[in-house]
């Protein structure tokens, strides 16, 4: 049974750096073809892909946010960490992590999401 759960601050101030952790179970991020991605959703708006890290440490980022994002993994802890610098109120959103597997690009298991509000 694959599960993922996001954790991190619910409130950050403008210009601060956000650090979110995705803790998962039921799969290994050292298995060929497996990845973990981050997707966010501002209130009432659409999904937006942020970043993806694969079992071989290949990392992919949204071109529009690449300069602000860093994704890393700790295979021994079953965790993936996303950092986003220089937070702005427009970054207020629910942040999801999701499992990508099976060789194709699909997000087949999702965490429950965590709402992050950016406000002074």
Residues forming contacts to another protein in the complex (CB under 8 A) are 37, 39, 46-49, 52, 60-63, 96, 102, 104-108, 110-113
State in angstroms the smallest separation of the CB of 96 from another protein.
6
If the CB atoms of residues 32 and 64 are measured against another protein, the closer one turns out to be 64
How many angstroms separate the Cα of 74 from the Cα of each of 15, 21, 85?
Answer: 26, 10, 20
CB of 47 vs another protein, minimal distance in Å: 5
Burial class (CB in 10 A: 0-12, 13-18, 19+), 76: exposed
φ, ψ of residue 15 to 5 degrees: the values are 80, -15
Please say which residue, 11 or 115, places its beta carbon nearer to another protein: 115
Per DSSP, what are the bridge partners of residue 72? 81
Please, which residue, 9 or 59, has the CB nearer to another protein? 59
């Amino acid at each position: 049974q694959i599960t993922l759960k996001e954790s991190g601050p619910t409130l950050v101030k403008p210009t601060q750096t956000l650090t979110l952790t995705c803790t998962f179970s039921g799969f290994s991020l050292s298995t060929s073809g497996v990845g973990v991605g981050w997707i966010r959703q501002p209130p009432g708006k659409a999904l937006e892909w942020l970043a993806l890290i694969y079992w071989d440490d290949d990392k992919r980022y949204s071109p529009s946010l690449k300069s602000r994002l860093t994704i890393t993994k700790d295979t021994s802890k079953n965790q993936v960490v996303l950092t986003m610098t220089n937070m702005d109120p427009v970054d207020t959103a629910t942040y999801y992590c999701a499992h990508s597997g099976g060789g194709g690009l699909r997000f087949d298991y999702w965490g429950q999401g965590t709402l992050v509000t950016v406000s002074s």
